[in-house]
Amino acid sequence: MPTEILMPALSPTMEEGTLAKWLVKEGDTVKSGDVIAEIETDKATMEFEAVDEGRIGKILIAEGTSAVKVNTAIAVLLEDGEEAGDIEAPKAAAPKADAEPAPAEKGYGGPIGAPVAGDAKAGDAKADGPKGDRVFASPLARRIAKDKGLDLSQIQGSGPHGRIVKADVENAQPGAAKPTAAAAAASSEAKAAPAPAAAAAPKAPSADAILKMYADRETEEVALDGMRRTIAARLTEAKQTIPHFYLRRSAKLDALMEFRATLNKQLEARGVKLSVNDFIIKASALALQQVPDANAVWAGDRILKLKPSDVAVAVAIEGGLFTPVLKDAHQKTLSALSAQMKDLAARAKSKKLAPHEYQGGSFAISNLGMFGIENFDAVINPPHGAILAVGAGIPTPVVEKGEVVVRNVMSMTLSVDHRVIDGALGAQLLDAIVQHLENPVGMLA
């Protein structure tokens, strides 16, 4: 039976994407592992591989189409002996709320015309799992589960991002308990208990109202792409839900600049050139080890403390930004951090980062010093506990031992999530960063 190829979820948070390019055409034969398309998410352009073999019978979504929802049918795969004439038009009617989604039989999704898990509207009662969550499983795992009579929503996946794979269903026992309708209803009622009334937030002007406001002015409308929508949603969430507070310090960079010049001269033969930002990354990573209680993230109903120093660094790209994460930064040399940062930044600008390269971390750095910005306050990137905003180094008169001297001074602002880090703890973290920057030789110890 012809099988739908569905728009994949290429990251845990992906809800829609742009089908940037088809690398196959109708009639092409594909096998498992073949790259068949390029999918653009809100953060990166990623390759989409075939997971089964067959022939591309029909392409349903043209390349360049944006806002394609996850689990939307994008093409049809034919098996041996099947022809394009065997393809049925997908049913237009949405599945009823009390209808069980049909299990996928082959390839990427279900038979043509079968309800697709995850396509149910917000008002529908059921999706793949008991809570309406999508169930991610390989085609082979789905077939084995069907043969064994297993409920995939009751199986814990061990694959990437919790994906259910062959071994999971082979090790699962038939007859796994599934919540009854009554139990589900009771749970739903318990969760639906009325919460205390909150003051209604003031509504922003509608798009129509703003368009009318500027109706007599020459304007240009810029449609939001996936990245811009994600940035808008996450930063709005951050400012509305994270109780920010700000700590400010300055660091004298004269010793660091002299030390950097010496190191760069010695490393020139190896093609290594350290930036001031490399030292800031290293200083932050070491400070998180010195003040371990500040190496933490907000996890909804608890604080999650990290052992390693995983430091994210904001990288500006056309139309937005990435925050690639340098994992175990406290254990890496300055030259290793420099090389990794250059690689991540280059691939970020071409949108070639994999999700695991820009997700995670507990702490971020945003440096606008190269643009001449003296100081600014950065917005925390959830679920991080803090972000360091770094300004330019400015020749500044300072008093040392009763005398006025000119020093290269860099201003920094630490934005802190008060749910995770209190004032005194944040001050300790920022002080540790300053001490490392003003005594850079110690970072090599």
Residues 6+ apart with CB under 8 A from 288: 294, 295, 306, 309, 311, 330, 362, 363, 429
**Helix, strand, or coil (residue 154):** helix
Which residue carries 């390989």 as its tokens?
138
Active site residue 418: yes
C-alpha–C-alpha distance, residues 136 and 163, integer Å: 5
Interacting residues of 163 by C-beta distance below 8 A, sequence separation 6+? 136, 137, 138, 157
How many other C-beta atoms lie within 10 A of the C-beta of residue 181? 10
The catalytic position among 161, 330, 384, 418 is 418
Length of the chain: 445
| 153 vs 150: CA distance, rounded Å | 9
User: Which of 304, 427, 405 shows the shortest CA–CA distance to 360?
Assistant: 304
Query: Is the separation of the CB atoms in 1 and 110 below 8 Å?
Result: no
Q: What type of residue sits at position 42?
A: D
Q: Two tokens at 113?
A: 């015309």
Nearest to 7 by CA among 102, 90, 89, 75: 75
Tracing tokens 């991002």 back to the chain, one arrives at 161
Q: Cα separation of 117 and 101, whole Å? A: 6
- What Å distances lie between residue 36 and 10, 19, 62, 77, 383, CA to CA? 14, 11, 13, 12, 34
- Count the helices and strands in the chain (H runs, E runs): 10, 18
25-28 contacts: CB < 8 A, separation 24 or more? 25/56, 25/59, 26/56, 26/57, 26/58, 26/59, 26/84, 27/55, 27/56, 28/55, 28/56
Q: Any long-range contacts for 188-195 (C-beta under 8 Å, 24+ apart)?
A: none
Residues serving a catalytic function are 418
